[in-house]
Amino acid sequence: MLPLLGHTPDELREIAAEAGLPAFAGKQIARWLYTKGARSVDEMTDLSKAGREALKARCEVGVHAPADCRISADGTRKYLFRTADGHYVETVYIPDGDRATLCVSSQVGCKMGCTFCMTGRQGFAASLTAAEILNQIYALPERERLTNIVFMGQGEPLDNVDAVLRACEVLTAGWGLAWSPKRITVSSVGLRKGLERFIAESRCSLAISLHHPVPARRAEMMPAERAMGIAEIVAVLRRHKAAFESQRRLTFEYIVFGGLNDDSASADTLADLLRGLPCRVNLIRFHPIPSSPFRGTDETRLAAFRDRLCARGLTATIRASRGQDIEAACGLLSTKKQEENRRKEVLSR
């Protein structure tokens, strides 16, 4: 079945025509999907009954409820969504006062191989479609409470740039959800073609996963450094500096590891690298994963690292840790689910 979710009004008009509906039905379907939040074709009551039946024979809305949910003591909720080909991806809902952020996934697994990331250990299985990305938002029980969306879940968003750009278009277009682009942030390790396209074709905010300011050390942790190094990424961002000087935000994410990147020399190198960019640095506590050689830094060193960056002229903040009691770090829950399914398959043979 073709999911209707993720299509533009023009594309929906073509889909409607193939089902024998009049051309204007495309706009009607778009309104039901993106304004009224319909979850089934049957809800689209301004289409004729015959038209709805013809559409249902070919298409579905594409909204599917989560397969599992874990609730943290701090209110964070981790949802597990099943994809059309039987894989699982994670989505994390993070309430915080009058704000509510949703962290969505863009791929099943990841090709980037970052050594500190559980999703990277899974390897790569598939890229999500725009409909599967949007389903994480549409099928969310707390959808109406959302204030922000971050593409910081499983996968590398700019390795799936077509689907991510389409999802961002649906979220921000007047015919879609009409969200302000500043409410949406896409995170990336930095991929050459995807980065240039995202800056040119979207007005959403950008977060770069940096994690070490020294290229050789970053390459040890993040193999993507060898394809597009942090120096080149920063050079691209400097060329597009004007794009980030208004409401569009540029952030550098920096997981702080004890004894690895938490010293004053690393802070000074980071400050020199980013000098003059309209950006902020988001310092992140390391969430341990099984059999990892990495450890988090202590709170005193974390605060000192932040203060040194601020003293060097950068805006630096420490991200609050959420949901550690429900395995909120990316990849933990989906990995466990996949392992459970594999064990069941073996036992059933």
Alpha carbons 262 and 268: distance in angstroms, whole number: 11
Structure tokens given for 125: 């299985």
**60 backbone dihedrals φ, ψ, rounded to 5°:** -135, 160
List the one residue out of 326, 308, 327, 328 whose CA is nearest residue 318.
Answer: 308
Cβ pair 132, 91 in contact under 8 A? no
Our measurement of the distance from residue 75's CA atom to the centroid of its chain's CA atoms, rounded to an integer in Å, reads 20
Residue whose structure tokens are 């969310």: 140
Q: What amino acid occupies position 263?
A: D
Amino acid at 172: T
Residue 183 burial by Cβ neighbours in a 10 Å radius (0-12, 13-18, 19+): middle
Distance of CA 17 to the CA centre of its chain: 33
Pairwise CA distance, residues 56 & 61, whole Å:
9
Give the H or E element holding residue 242: none
**What spatial distance separates the first Cα and last Cα of the chain, rounded to whole Å?**
30
Q: Tell me, what DSSP letter sits at residue 274?
A: H
What one-character-per-residue DSSP string does 202-214 give? Answer: --SEEEEE---SS
Specify whether 168 is catalytic: no
Asked if 121 and 335 touch (Cβ cutoff 8 Å), the reply is yes
Q: Of the listed 18, 220, 330, 340, which one is catalytic?
A: 330
* Catalytic position from the list 90, 132, 225, 327: 90
Alpha-carbon 170 to chain mean position? 15
Q: How far is CA 236 from CA 106, 199, 207, 229, 273, in A?
A: 23, 10, 14, 11, 13
90 catalytically annotated: yes
Catalytic annotation, residues: 90, 330
